[in-house]
Amino acid sequence: MLTINNLHARVEEKTILKGLNLEIKPGEVHAIMGPNGAGKSTMGFVLSGRDGYEVEQGGATLDGNDLLDMEPEDRARAGLFLAFQYPVEIPGVSNLEFMKAAVDASLESRGEEPMSSAAFLKKAKEACAQVNLPLAFLKRGVNEGFSGGEKKRNEIMQMILMEPKLAILDESDSGLDIDALKVVADGVNSQRSADRSFIVVTHYQRLLDYIKPDFVHVLSDGKIVKSGDASLAKELEAEGYAWLEGYDIEENSEASA
């Protein structure tokens, strides 16, 4: 489904990704862990096409299509979804209007009819209930005045409505209490299927107790330095990152400072 091949990317003058390789097959859940500054968020931004992130080398394909050659909206329509670590507030644009425009854009790109307002509202209400947000949140401005946890749940609601092929969850667990964490994890688990894949970016093993990954990777200084199964996350939790081969303590302490 997703193939990342020797990806190098920089922001302004600083190279962040330095030869990232990753292969994700349909239905798989991959967790990516690693210290601050390793390039975890950069990976999501580069794949989704954020301005200012320049690819120097390598590539990424989604279902064989060159992802990096597409406009951000086309990547989303092709089935890529990024749950933001810091979702953006958009006052004056209602959550419902925003999500309908998003879903309709994807439908239209596939030559399908947009959903009727009533049908979409019904779906949106279900998704809203599923992530345990009051229905009033559909009418409110996108993320406007939402708490940190509410924003994260709103991201999951969008994911549920957009039915992506590949979802990247960028620290969807940060700042959540245990109840909110379960809501987010339940939302993700409800969407797991044989043809949908996930990249779960996290600092903590805690989330992986609820979303069981097939693979765990450690990203350090722009590339994957170790891969394993779910037990790797437990080791990392116990030992930290310093024992990993190829992990430069000095550089990484600088990056996280």
State how far the Cα of 151 lies from the Cα of 85, in Å rounded to an integer. 9
Q: Minimum distance from CB of 155 to other proteins (Å)? A: 10
Total residues contacting other proteins (rule CB under 8 A)? Answer: 30
The answer to whether 215 and 20 have CB atoms below 8 angstroms apart is: no
Using CB under 8 A as the binding rule, the residues of this chain from 137 to 156 that contact other proteins are 141
**Residue 135 sits in the site that holds other proteins (CB under 8 A):** no
Q: Minimum distance from CB of 73 to other proteins (Å)? A: 5
Name the strand (E) or helix (H) holding 210: helix 206-210
Residues 6+ away with beta carbon under 8 Å from 213: 29, 30, 31, 200, 229, 230, 233
Which region holds residue 39: left if phi is over 0, alpha if psi is between -120 and 50, else beta? left
**In the structure encoding, which two tokens stand for residue 45, read together?**
């931004």
Q: Minimum distance from CB of 91 to other proteins (Å)? A: 4
210, HSE (Cβ side, Cα atoms, 13 Å): 20
Tell me which of 12, 13, 64, 92 binds other proteins, using CB under 8 A: 92
**Residue 50 sits in the site that holds other proteins (CB under 8 A):** yes
The answer to whether 29 and 198 have CB atoms below 8 angstroms apart is: yes
Comparing CB distances to other proteins, the nearer of 187 and 213 is 187
**Residue 71 sits in the site that holds other proteins (CB under 8 A):** yes
Helix (H, G, I), strand (E, B) or coil at 227: strand
> Which of these ranges, 34-42, 81-89, 200-208, 246-254, lies near other proteins under the rule CB under 8 A?
81-89
Q: Minimum distance from CB of 43 to other proteins (Å)? A: 14
Tell me which of 19, 59, 87, 175 binds other proteins, using CB under 8 A: 87
> Which of these ranges, 10-18, 31-39, 74-82, 179-187, lies near other proteins under the rule CB under 8 A?
74-82
Q: Minimum distance from CB of 162 to other proteins (Å)? A: 7
**Residue 117 sits in the site that holds other proteins (CB under 8 A):** no
Comparing CB distances to other proteins, the nearer of 158 and 205 is 158
Parallel, antiparallel or unpaired: strands 197-201 and 90-94: unpaired
**In the structure encoding, which two tokens stand for residue 238, read together?**
């116990």
The backbone torsions φ and ψ at residue 131, rounded to the nearest 5 degrees and listed phi first, read: -95, 10
State how far the Cα of 180 lies from the Cα of 105, in Å rounded to an integer. 30
Parallel, antiparallel or unpaired: strands 80-83 and 14-24: unpaired
**Residue 37 sits in the site that holds other proteins (CB under 8 A):** no
**Residue 13 sits in the site that holds other proteins (CB under 8 A):** no
User: What crossing angle do the helices spanning 95-109 and 117-130 adopt, rounded to 10°?
Assistant: 120
Comparing CB distances to other proteins, the nearer of 19 and 87 is 87
**Residue 101 sits in the site that holds other proteins (CB under 8 A):** yes
Residues that bind other proteins (CB under 8 A): 48-51, 71-73, 75-77, 82, 84, 87-93, 97-99, 101-102, 105-106, 109, 141, 158, 162
